Structure 1
Amino acid sequence: MKQFFTSLYLNKYFLTFVVIFAYLESVQERFSFSKSLHWHLFTPDAAIGQLLNALLLFVIIGLVLQKFEEKLTIRHALSVFSISLVLYVAGNNVLAFVVALTFDTVERNFNATTLTTVNIKYVMDVFVYGGLFLAHYYFQKNQEDKKKISMLEKVQIESQLSQLKAQLNPHFLFNNLNVLDQLIEEDQAQASVFLHDFSDIYRYVLQSSDQQLVSLEDEIAFAKRYFRLMKQKYGEAYRLQITGDIPSEAFLPALSLQLLIENAIEHNLGTERSPVEIKLMIYSQTLLVSNTLMPKKQGKKGGGRALLNLGGQLELLAEKAILVQQNERTFEVTLPLIFKNEN
């Protein structure tokens, strides 16, 4: 319930404004009716009743907003307003009829004149208070979306820079060119495969660095190429196993899997006798990346920042969080998959 009201942006400033507005409206209506000043004009009972009606209207609009896809368009706002108007007027009439039936006042309260007057008041309430609420709601929603976009751009830029540095720095290039040079002398066929993977890695990094999301299928293919490259350097000290079927229309932030594989290699010391097992397990809604723990004596300093960046991207792109778990034997990261129909 608290989350529901929070989603409506019913903060203290807006509610204070509604209270003051309802109070002044009640004073104005009483003065218009009595045409004279007296203490009864300023009692708060009518304002409290109007405030409760306004809160009921806000709840109805909020429920309607939840049932429809939220888009900041005039057409969407008009649809929400129209449906809320019908529900509010109909709901108040039903409630009033039940009360009148209970106290045997149906004939007095449900004649043509009274119904017309009361329903005009209900419609005016929707236009006044509903209009105020929707203006406030869409303004706050727009501000929140702008803030999210700004944060996403900041996180993405930082993440892309760290990822590009990891792949394109001179040390990475120099090491792999040395491996390539050795393979050319020892095994030309293997050297050709290595060079093909090496060029594909650079091409994928450059193509995906400006994209928010890439398909899971592309990420898996890239992870395989990247790991084949690492095997040329480390041999059987690290092993990669991929299980599960790739869901259709599943996406992840670019280079997510490479980042996790690289972390497993850089933070753990594997040998051919005791290799580090890296597993990618694909499920319908998530992807689990795990590796056996064999920490290096001198671990990489500043570790964990790239993982935080990845978590920030998923939180902003799909409002989903990654799950990081560790025990004595394994380190696991569960990534929520993003699907097209969620965006």
Structure 2
Amino acid sequence: MLFLIKKWQKAITFNIKETLKIFSTSLLLHVIILQSLGLCISFLFDNVERNFNLEVLTHSLVSNFMDALIYGSFFLAYYYYQKNRNYQNQISTYNEALSENKINQLKTQLNPHFLFNNLNVLDQLIEEDKYKASDFLNEFAEIYRYVLEVSDKKLVTLTEELSFAKSYFSLMKHKYGNAFQLEINPKTNNNTFIVPLTLQLLLENAIKHNLGTENNPIEIIIKIGENIIVSNNIIKKQNQKLTSGRSLQNLKEQYLLLSNKEIEINHKKEAFTVTLPLIPFHKND
């Protein structure tokens, strides 16, 4: 059977037509080979008539056929079980590699996005106040070090990400002052994880798409419970450019790949809210 499987089988997985062909041919060859050997031995000892009369031959054929049917069935079942298990392992390994590659692609899209947006802020500050621009640049260098550190990580602890979000928001205050306000209501521990730069991206999104003032600020609230809820009131900019929403779509894809859960985006007239699932455990590679 193993010889015929290697010779005839073309399908990667179980194929009924190929299996029946292999099984029936194996049964036939098994019976023919055993009877041929029996005939040779009978000729050798000169007892052909005794061993190959109708009654003995019928009994021998039935016995050989039943043995081949039973043990051959067990062998094929075991062979295809092992083959299927190996195939499933290969698929699993391939899917993991595919997901890993996709996540890396998504992360490489985010880092230039982060750098480009903040260099734009720096460029504006240089024109407005060179001393603020200098402070901004120094703090930005420290913050970008974190971005580089987490660039090869799938997830980070929520505590780390909250600390980074606070540092990033402090950086933005160089330009916007109290026009944007941040409130964090954390109930967190180091056993919960989050996609790196998630909170920073949502803070950036709120700042980019809204026009806050000191008298009428944009209030960004981060609430942490079973999920993370990031919300802000909306004061739309006039003549705002249309955006592709690629960053949020990027984030949705990362969460789906890493946790098999989707983020929820709720865009109303008065408020914009994003709900993020917390990931309870992860071992970084």
Q: Same fold (TM over 0.5)?
A: yes
Asked if 1:317 corresponds to 2:263, the answer is: no
**Counterparts of residues 230-249 of structure 1 (less than 5 Å):** 230-249=172-191
Q: What CA deviation, in whole Å up to 9, does each residue of 1:134-177 have, x standing for no partner?
A: 2321222222222222222222211222122223x2x3223445
Q: In the alignment, what sits opposite 1:174?
A: 123
For residues 273 and 323 of structure 1, what CA distance do their matches in structure 2 show? 30
Structure 1 residue runs of 5 or longer lacking an equivalent are 1-12, 36-115, 185-190
Contact 2:132/2:174, CA 8 A, preserved across alignment: no
Structure 2 residue runs of 5 or longer lacking an equivalent are 1-10, 33-66
Q: What CA deviation, in whole Å up to 9, does each residue of 1:16-57 have, x standing for no partner?
A: x4212331144225535775xxxxxxxxxxxxxxxxxxxxxx
For residues 153 and 340 of structure 1, what CA distance do their matches in structure 2 show? 20
- Pick aligned residue for 1:212 from 133, 141, 154: 154
Question: Relative to 1, partners in 2 of residues 1:14 and 1:203: Cα closer, same or farther, differing over 3 Å?
Answer: closer
Q: In the alignment, what sits opposite 1:221?
A: 163
Q: In the alignment, what sits opposite 2:115?
A: 164
The answer to which structure, 1 or 2, has the higher relative contact order (CA under 8 A, 6+ apart) is: 2
Pairwise CA distance, 1:278: 0.8
For residues 148 and 255 of structure 1, what CA distance do their matches in structure 2 show? 19
For residues 132 and 182 of structure 1, what CA distance do their matches in structure 2 show? 66
Amino acid in structure 1 at the alignment position of 2:131? D
Q: In the alignment, what sits opposite 2:38?
A: none
> Is the partner of 2:273 in helix, strand or coil?
strand
Pairwise CA distance, 1:329: 1.6
Pairwise CA distance, 1:130: 0.7
Q: In the alignment, what sits opposite 1:275?
A: 217
Contact 1:163/1:255, CA 8 A, preserved across alignment: no
For residues 238 and 82 of structure 2, what CA distance do their matches in structure 1 show? 64
For residues 236 and 270 of structure 1, what CA distance do their matches in structure 2 show? 8
Pairwise CA distance, 1:257: 0.9
Q: In the alignment, what sits opposite 2:280?
A: 339
After the TM superposition, which of the residue ranges 267-276 and 172-181 deviates more from structure 2?
Answer: 172-181
Asked if 1:146 corresponds to 2:97, the answer is: yes
Asked if 1:21 corresponds to 2:38, the answer is: no
Amino acid in structure 2 at the alignment position of 1:315? L
Pairwise CA distance, 1:120: 4.7
For residues 180 and 207 of structure 1, what CA distance do their matches in structure 2 show? 29
> Is the partner of 1:132 in helix, strand or coil?
helix
> Is the partner of 1:242 in helix, strand or coil?
strand
Question: Relative to 1, partners in 2 of residues 1:201 and 1:341: Cα closer, same or farther, differing over 3 Å?
Answer: closer
Q: What CA deviation, in whole Å up to 9, does each residue of 1:241-287 have, x standing for no partner?
A: 11131132222222211111011011111223322121111123x21
- Pick aligned residue for 2:75 from 113, 124, 129: 124
- Pick aligned residue for 1:298 from 232, 239, 248: 239
For residues 207 and 26 of structure 1, what CA distance do their matches in structure 2 show? 58
Larger radius of gyration: 2
Q: What CA deviation, in whole Å up to 9, does each residue of 1:309-332 have, x standing for no partner?
A: 122222223333221111222111
Give the % identical residues.
Answer: 32
After the TM superposition, which of the residue ranges 297-306 and 121-130 deviates more from structure 2?
Answer: 121-130
Q: In the alignment, what sits opposite 1:155?
A: 106
TM-score (norm 1): 0.60
Question: Relative to 1, partners in 2 of residues 1:303 and 1:254: Cα closer, same or farther, differing over 3 Å?
Answer: same
Asked if 1:308 corresponds to 2:249, the answer is: yes
- Pick aligned residue for 1:289 from 227, 230, 243: 230
Number of aligned residue pairs: 240
Amino acid in structure 1 at the alignment position of 2:221? K
For residues 144 and 209 of structure 1, what CA distance do their matches in structure 2 show? 21
For residues 205 and 141 of structure 1, what CA distance do their matches in structure 2 show? 30
